[in-house]
Amino acid sequence: MTGRSGGTRDLRRDIVFAFALALACYVAWLIRDVLVMLYVSALFAVVLSPMVQFTSQLHFGRWQPSKSAAVFILLFVGAAGLAIFGFLALPPVVRDLQGFTEEMPARFPALLDKLKSLPLANHLDTDDLSSRLQGFVSQSATYLLLSISHWAGALFDIIMGFVLTIYFILEGDHAYRWFLSFFPMENRERLDQTLQRAEIRMGKWLIGQGSLMLILGVLSTIVYLSLHVRYAYALGVLTGLLNIIPVLGAAICIALALLVAAIDSWGRVLGIAIFYMIYLQVENSYLTPRIMKNTVDLPGLAILVSLLIGSAIEGVLGAMVSVPTAVLVAVLLDEYLVHKDAPEAL
């Protein structure tokens, strides 16, 4: 009777556990966007922690900033940098856009005449082309108005992710200790040491990514200046900053630079296109694998595969956190699943 009663209790416990697990998976699926935001924010907090620690170790006279003061200093430096960039870069762009808008009605017939002079373009119906362009502009304006709510939601997610990252930097130790409390005491120390090793390697990812951003920004500025492209310094800085976004950042930079170059000369467009074709090949095949391997200690193939998987799962956001996530997975696999050969006896 005792064995049958114990077996019944075990069966009930297994059924309750199965239902609880299914319910937890269902709830996790419903709030998957929130979980992704929490994970990405925690990951960026880990990546940015070395910068916060370095800032908190600086001495300003007799005053040494605390962790919260270090976060405030970094935020102030970042905001000041963006403000200076906007103050120096935006006025010429706004001034030229205003002039272009005012001159567009007068330039449009001349633009159509140039279009007619192109080979095989003399058969185009200019009236039909003009009406199509006007319709395209109208449709674009309508689409922009309809997508305001979408962009507002995306902006809210970015702000919340930014705030969560700050909270994880300031109070992440409490959340980390709470997470470790779910594991048995005999396994907790091993997991703690493993995650600390992963944190060190993940923190180095920012150094590698910053190196790639600096290389592209400097080379782009040199190319823009040599081709006499408008807003060369502003475009160079923006190109370097946007390189933190894999694939999409490069696409935005290429499109923006080509658009600005097309205002003045098709030769400049060709020069920029050739530069990016060569650079992207060099970056994807040599710079990214080599720099990331030296900083995060991952094989080049693993880095490329992680970028592909991250972009396939979560798009741009997944690509941005793919390499730090690959570092975390590699450290956990190396600790718990990889069977190391025992040292040979002498």
Angle at 248 between CA 227 and CA 159, to 5 degrees: 115
Give pLDDT, residue 341: 58
Reading the block at residue 244, the tokens are: 């933190």
Q: What's the CA dihedral at 43, 46, 47, 53 to 10 degrees?
A: 160
Reading the block at residue 316, the tokens are: 């741009």
In sequence order, what are the beta bridge partners of 60? 63
Give pLDDT, residue 345: 47
Show Cβ contacts of residue 230 under 8 Å, excluding neighbours closer than 6 positions: 92, 96, 260, 261, 263, 264
List, for residues 264-281, the tens digit of each pLDDT value. 778 888 889 899 889 888
Whether 137 contacts 143, CB under 8 Å: no
Reading the block at residue 200, the tokens are: 């060190």
What confidence category does residue 201 fall into, taking pLDDT thresholds of 50, 70 and 90?
A: confident
Give pLDDT, residue 46: 87
DSSP for residue 65: -
Q: Does pLDDT of 134 surpass 60?
A: no
DSSP secondary structure, 242-311, as one string: HTTSTTHHHHHHHHHHHHHHHTT-HHHHHHHHHHHHHHHHHIIIIIHHHHHHHHH---HHHHHHHHHHHH
Higher pLDDT, 133 or 98: 98
Give pLDDT, residue 131: 57
Reading the block at residue 79, the tokens are: 């905001």
What confidence category does residue 101 fall into, taking pLDDT thresholds of 50, 70 and 90?
A: low
b/e code 38-68 from CB counts within 10 Å (16+ = b): eebbbbbbbbbbbebeebbeeeeeeeebebe
Q: Does pLDDT of 111 surpass 60?
A: no
The Cα–Cα gap between 221 and 234 comes to: 8
What confidence category does residue 346 fall into, taking pLDDT thresholds of 50, 70 and 90?
A: very low
Q: Does pLDDT of 141 surpass 80?
A: no
Q: Does pLDDT of 172 surpass 60?
A: yes
Q: Does pLDDT of 139 surpass 70?
A: no
Q: Is the pTM of this model over 0.75?
A: no
Give pLDDT, residue 57: 85
Give pLDDT, residue 6: 57
What confidence category does residue 51 fall into, taking pLDDT thresholds of 50, 70 and 90?
A: confident
List, for residues 202-226, the tens digit of each pLDDT value. 888 888 888 888 998 899 999 998 9
Reading the block at residue 327, the tokens are: 């570092």
**Strand, helix or coil at 118?**
coil
Reading the block at residue 302, the tokens are: 């693993």
Average pLDDT estimate for 164-191:
86
Nearest to 212 by CA among 332, 330, 293: 293
Q: Does pLDDT of 3 surpass 60?
A: no
